[in-house]
Amino acid sequence: MTAAVLLCVFLAFPLTAPAPAPVIETQHYDPDTLFEYINGAAEAYLALDFQELTVLEWKSGTRTLRTAEVYRMRDAARAWGIYARERPGAGALLPVGAEGYAEEGTLNFLLGPHYVKMAGARPGDDEAKALLAWAKELASDLGGDPSLPDPLACFPSKGRVPRSERFTARQFLGLSFLEEAWSAEYRSEGKEFKAALMKSRRTSRDAALIAWARSAGTVLPEEGDGPRFFLDPRLGEVAAQVRGDRLAAVIGAADPKAASRLLAVLLACGEE
Amino acid sequence: MSPDSLDRRRFLKSAAAGALCAAAPDLAVKNPETGKRPVITRPLGKTGLTLPVVSMGVMNADNPALVTAALDAGIVHFDTAHRYQGGRNEEMLGQVFKGRPRHSIVVATKVPPTLSLSQDADAVPDEEPSRTRTVEDFMARLDTSLKRLKMEHVDILYLHNVSSRETALHPFFLEALERAKKSGRTRLVGLSTHKNEPEVLSAAVESKFYEVVLVAYNFKQDHVLQVRDGIAKAAAAGLGIVGMKTFAGGWLDKERTMPVNTKAALKWVLKDPHVHTVIPGFTTFDQLEEDLAVMADPVLSTEEEKDLRLAAAEPGLYCQGCESCLAGCSRHLPLPELMRSYMYVYGYRNPGRAREVVGALGLPDDPCAGCAGCSARCARGFDLRARVRDIARLASVPEEFLA
């Protein structure tokens, strides 16, 4: 995706407001300069391997009428990660890109490695319609696979809290050795718990699990194929299991048998 | 060496010495929750609030267990904003705080200073912003934040990310903040700033309206002396001072190979008795533990002081592209591009990329040859001549040698 393509889309899109003719300004940011644009919020994007941001501003005089921020992340999983982190827990989803939503004069959508955030200066329904039309144009020009990442399908729908799915590249659950984690919240009989499926580039699964238990004050045997259980005083009861290069975990579940069943489902997902 | 660098070094020295003499109004109380670690507190200006010197910047945290752990460890002040994580950050806090006594926590949020146009879609695009609309939109955003936080009021409401006197004193925003306070939606009003901080601090004092300032303050700031003076004046006027960006980005180099000693950086800010609390943005339990240790004992050790002095003197590899060097170069060399290439080689270890950039510039192997002395000056303190001579010869190195 080049800035030139984005600019063409921007210029081609009709603005509903009348003359004087608007002026388009573009800005570009990379991992070194993202702080200059979004300040401390850049940390969350950098933690998901942000690559490049193109900002399009539609201005009249000194007034910005509409903006589109096109964030390109390292891959679709990471774009999903930042999108899901900011997505509201309720409200209508929009058929733009892989998925989108509108909120408070803004419209955000996801498409492949791109996370696009758009905003209009003027509130109201007309502006919302104009933003959606522009978003569709932009999505069409960005191109790419309009489907959601595959690992999301690993999480069973029964009891899953809607839109609780997340992707965390590093420091999952605030623990430095857990990474590449897909997760979702569940609710069963009034009790909430979290399920996660992790990958790691640096350590074997078992090493990550043993480090986790150790940090929680428990010593686990080095070997073990089945589900293993320990109490993490910071997070609650943990059930975890390693298979191949994956670590599945259920955190905070009251019933060990139900947790084991969920672990089996997670680990079976995607296997040949 | 730039004057700013000298200022910063002098400040590091004087702050260290001054802290030994100045009697900071610290109070040490035993943490009632754990009964273990003492918690150092300071009054937040004349607001009537007293806070532990370490608070939590929640912006990048999305783990409720971490916030709960912070609460249980004695942190009481939590800083979020209307925009953080698209509002999800406030929602997460609302969930964590549900059921806790409201008086036991101090919640700060921020609403952006957005000037709204009329709602009329046919209005001319460059019309003047509407006072009524601006105030109403501000209040609507605040109400959304309160709903997400599941609260009837916040303790501190900031005008978010203010970088000019004009915005700080804009009558539309002052009216909105006043309405928020009079209606009981906030106990205190303030503004946050991480650009042109001295000007904004001065405007906050001038307003006789703001009660708290959330300000970027760290040992690496180029204009740290001016920020320190602004903070001192604001504190003298009775404003509460909350420090942010205390870790200076967390890394000494843009390539993230040299981490800042974050514990020392936090203690350095707290050595200034005019800073009442700080809001480090921890995201792991290990980081929380480090910050809690500072909350119990914010005194800089000799080793930590040394670390910060070295860090402050470290110019790093990153060229900001400020272009202030250009005017001084009699050869009109593209110095920012050359400095960036230097970073590619020595920071990213990517000489191929550097060769591409240098090759495209079409320079001789030694562009400084015949130049008696270098009159170009780098704001970051780079030795420009040495780096130019080092990097320019890369263009003549065969590509296959760099693979």
pLDDT for B346 beyond 90: no
Rounded to an integer, what distance in angstroms lies between the CA atom of residue B387 and that of residue B209? 50
Question: Which residues does chain B have within 8 Å of residue A126's beta carbon, measured at their own beta carbons?
Answer: 121
Q: Which run of H or E residues covers position A125?
A: helix A125-142
A113-171 per-position pLDDT tens digit: 999 999 987 767 777 888 899 899 999 989 888 999 999 999 999 999 999 999 999 88
**DSSP conformational letter for B259:** B
Residue partners of A118: CB distance under 8 A and separation at least 6: A66, A67, A68, A69, A106, A107, A108, A131, A134, A135, A138
For B73, the closest chain A residue by CA position comes to A234
Q: Residue B93 — pLDDT band, cuts 50, 70, 90?
A: very high
Domain co-membership, B77 together with B164: yes
From B282, B313, B344, the end of a domain falls on B313
Work out the angle between the directed axes of helices B171-182 and B131-149 (0-180°, nearest 10).
40
pLDDT at residue A92 greater than cutoff 80: yes
Nearest Cβ partner for B63 among A41, A86, A173: A173
Domain membership of residue B28 (yes or no) is yes
What's the pLDDT tens digit per position in B373-400?
Answer: 888 988 878 889 988 988 888 888 776 6
Lowest mean pLDDT among A12-21, A95-104, A223-232, B63-72: A12-21
Q: Which two tokens stand for residue B331?
A: 């050869």
CA distance A44 to chain B (A): 6
Q: Are B233 and B205 in contact (CB under 8 A)?
A: yes
The answer to whether position B318 is within a domain reads no
Q: Which of B59, B283, B286 sits opposite A41 (nearest CB)?
A: B59
CA distance A272 to chain B (A): 33
Query: For residues B73 and B285, what is the distance between their CA atoms, to the nearest angstrom?
Result: 11
B310 or A16, greater pLDDT: B310
Beta-carbon count within 10 A of A249 CB? 30
CB B284 to CB A35 under 8 A? Answer: no
Identify whether B154 is part of a domain: yes
Composition of chain B by helix, strand, coil, percent to 5: 45, 15, 40
Q: Does B245 touch chain A (CB under 8 A)?
A: yes
Among the partner residues B59, B69, B137, nearest to A40 by beta-carbon distance: B59
Whether A56 and A67 have beta carbons less than 8 Å apart is answered as yes
Amino acid identity for residue A193 in this structure:
F
In sequence order, the 6+-apart residues with CB closer than 8 A to the CB of A3 are: A26, A28, A54
Same domain, B299 and B212: yes
**Quick check: B84 and A85 CB within 8 A?**
no
| Facing B125 at nearest CB: one of A60, A87, A88 | A60
* Cis ω before A22 (30° cut-off from 0): no
DSSP designation for B281 = -
The answer to whether B157 and A163 are in contact (CB under 8 A) is no
| Contact state of A40 with B244 under an 8 Å Cβ cutoff | yes
> B290 with A174: CB under 8 angstroms?
no
CA dist B396 → A187, B6, B239, B371 (Å): 64, 38, 60, 21
Domain C-terminal end among B289, B313, B337: B313
Using DSSP, state whether A173 is helix, strand or coil.
Answer: helix
Beta-bridge partner residues of A114: A72, A111
What sign results for the dihedral spanned by CA atoms B132, B138, B141, B145?
A: negative
Q: What is the mean pLDDT of residues B68-76?
A: 94
Answer whether residue A19 shows pLDDT above 50.
no
Residues in chain B with CB shorter than 8 Å from the CB of A166 are: 62
The values of phi and psi at residue A16, to 5°, are -75, -30
The three-class DSSP label of residue A50 is: strand
Instruction: Kindly state the DSSP code that residue A123 receives in the 8-state scheme.
Output: -
B87 chain-A contacts, CB cut-off 8 A: 86, 88, 103
Name the residue of chain A whose CA is nearest to B88's CA. A86
CA separation for the pair A160, A164 (Å, rounded): 8
CB contact under 8 A, A234 and B65: yes
| C-beta of residue A1 within 8 angstroms of C-beta of residue B106 | no
Among left, alpha and beta (phi > 0; psi -120 to 50; other), residue B381 is: left
Both B277 and B393 in one domain: the answer is: no
- Taking the Cβ of residue B316 and every Cβ of chain A, the question of whether any pair is shorter than 8 Å is answered with no
- B144, B281, B286 member nearest A40 (Cβ): B281
pLDDT tens digits, B244-301 = 988 877 777 656 667 788 899 999 999 999 999 999 988 899 999 999 999 999 999 9
What tokens were used for B389? 């001579």
Chain A residues inside the 8 Å CB shell of B247: none
pLDDT digits (tens, 9 = 90+) for A184-197: 999 988 889 999 99
| Optimal mutation site among A64, A85, A214, interface B, most CBs of chain B within 10 A | A85
pLDDT tens-digit readout, B119-148: 554 555 556 778 888 999 999 999 999 999
Q: Which residues on neighbouring strands pair with residue A120, listed in sequence order?
A: A66
Residue A60 and residue B60: Cβ atoms within 8 Å?
Answer: no
Partner residue opposite A86 with nearest CB, options B60, B86, B288: B86
pLDDT band at A18 (very low <50, low <70, confident <90, very high): very low
- Interface probe, candidates A235, A237, A251, chain B, greatest B C-beta count within 10 A: A235
Residue B316 has pLDDT above 80, yes or no: no
Clarify whether residues B395 and B281 are in a common domain.
no
Q: Is B336 helix (H, G, I), strand (E, B) or coil?
A: helix
- Tell me A81's DSSP state: H
Greatest C-alpha distance within chain B: 75
Two tokens at B209? Answer: 């309206």
CB pairs under 8 A between A and B: 100
Q: Is residue B320 part of a domain?
A: no
SS3 category, B325: coil
Nearest residue, CB atoms, A17 vs list B66, B91, B125: B125
Neighbouring residues of B381: CB distance < 8 A, sequence distance ≥ 6 = B1, B2, B5, B315
Residue B220 within a domain: yes
Same domain assignment for residues B213 and B357: no
In whole angstroms, give the CA distance from residue A116 to residue A113. 10
In a domain, B319, yes or no: no
| Residue B143 domain-assigned (yes or no) | yes
* One domain, residues B293 and B336: no
Cβ count near A81 (within 10 Å) = 25
Residue B321 covered by a domain: no
Q: Please indicate, yes or no, whether residues B253 and B128 belong to a single structural domain of this protein.
A: yes
* Cβ atoms within 10 Å, residue B101: 7
The residue of chain A with its CA nearest to that of B246 is A40
pLDDT in tens, B204-243: 999 999 999 999 999 888 788 999 999 999 999 999 999 9
Verify whether the Cβ–Cβ distance B285 to A41 is below 8 Å: no
Element (H, E) at A108: strand A106-111
Q: What are phi and psi of B355, to 5 degrees?
A: -65, -40
What is residue B125's predicted lDDT score, i.e. its pLDDT?
54
Q: How many CB atoms lie within 10 A of CB B327?
A: 10
- B86–A87 CB contact, under 8 Å: yes
Q: Of B125, B244, B285, which is closest to A22 when you measure between CB atoms?
A: B125
Task: Let me know whether B394 and B299 are in one domain.
Answer: no
Would you say residue B18 has pLDDT above 70? no
**Whether residue B241 sits in one domain with residue B375:** no
Tens digits of per-residue pLDDT, A28-75? Answer: 999 878 888 888 788 889 889 999 999 988 877 777 778 999 999 999
Interface test with A, best of B114, B262, B283 (most A CBs within 10 A): B283
Q: Are residues B124 and B211 in the same domain?
A: yes
Q: Look at chain B and report how many structural domains it folds into.
A: 2
Is B116 in CB contact (< 8 Å) with chain A?
yes
d(CA B146, CA B179): 15
Task: Flag if B125 and A104 touch (Cβ within 8 Å).
Answer: no
Which residues are registered as beta bridge partners of A196?
A183, A249
**Domain C-terminal end among B268, B285, B313:** B313
B403 touches chain A (CB under 8 A): no
Numbered residues of chain A with Cβ closer than 8 Å to any chain B Cβ: 16-18, 20, 22, 32, 35, 39-41, 43-44, 47, 60-61, 63, 65, 85-89, 103-104, 108, 121-124, 126-127, 166, 171, 173-176, 215, 234-236
For residue B182, give its domain range: 3-313
pLDDT of residue B255: 60
- What's the ipTM? 0.80
Residue to mutate among A16, A86, A237, with most B CBs inside 10 A, is A86
CB atoms A63 and B84 under 8 Å? no
Mean of the pLDDT values across residues B168-191?
97
Same domain? For B301 and B368 the reply is no
For residue B60, give every residue at least 6 positions away whose Cβ sits within 8 Å of its Cβ, in sequence order, or none: A40, A41, A43, A44, A47, B281, B283
Domains of chain A: 3-142 (3.40.1000), 150-268 (3.30.200.100)
Taking contacts as CB-CB distances below 8 angstroms, the residues of chain A near B254 are 32
Which of B59, B121, B125 is nearest residue A63 as measured by Cβ atoms? Answer: B125
Res A20 pLDDT > 50: no
Does residue B308 share a domain with residue B330? no
A32/B254 CB distance under 8 A: yes
Report which of A213, A157, A212, A204 is spatially closest to residue A185, judged by C-alpha positions: A157
Handedness of CA B249, B252, B257, B259 (dihedral sign): negative
What span, in angstroms and rounded, lies between the C-alpha atoms of B340 and B346? 10
From edge to edge, which strands make up the β-sheet containing B56-57?
A: B56-57, B77-79, B106-111, B154-159, B186-193, B212-216, B240-244, B277-278
Say if CB A57 and CB A87 are below 8 A apart.
no
Which CATH number characterizes residue B146's domain? 3.20.20.100
